[in-house]
Amino acid sequence: MWFCPCCGNLIHIEISHAGGTTHFRCLTSPFHKLITEKVSKKMKLTPKKVDDVLGGEDAMKNVDKTKETCPECAHEWAFFRMQQTRSADEAATRFYTCEKCSHIWSDAS
């Protein structure tokens, strides 16, 4: 992808059928440039690191246990904790972790 040096928007490639020329053209600014050589650039994309919004491995330490059936293994006991995931005027979400298989689910799912 190429971006306009004037406005930063994505540049489009325009092919003129009459003259057989190819141009970079910005649809927002007056930027226009004739392409005279092969344009290629390879770039390795690295995935963005995702933050663990549930608190990571330490999130379930020192939490309470309740009788709640695991949807994966049907074990009857799970650890749980409450976390505010929506706006403050809405109820907190209860997250469960199965005592047996460590499957995680919530009461919102």
Does residue 12 register a pLDDT over 70? yes
Domain boundaries, the chain: 1-40, 57-106
Contact between 10 and 3 (Cβ < 8 Å): yes
The pLDDT > 70 percentage for the chain reads 88
pLDDT of residue 50: 74
Q: Which of the four pLDDT bands, split at 50, 70 and 90, describes residue 68?
A: very high
The encoded tokens of residue 24 equal 């970079």
pTM of the model: 0.44
Among candidates 21, 22, 16, 20, which has minimal Cα distance to 2? 22
CATH top class, domain 1-40: mainly beta
- Which fold is adopted by the domain 57-106? N-terminal domain of TfIIb (2.20.25)
pLDDT of residue 74: 94
Cβ count near 66 (within 10 Å): 13
d(CA 57, CA 60): 7
Say whether 57-106 and 1-40 share the same fold.
yes
d(CA 73, CA 100): 8
Query: Higher model confidence: residue 84 or residue 52?
Result: 84
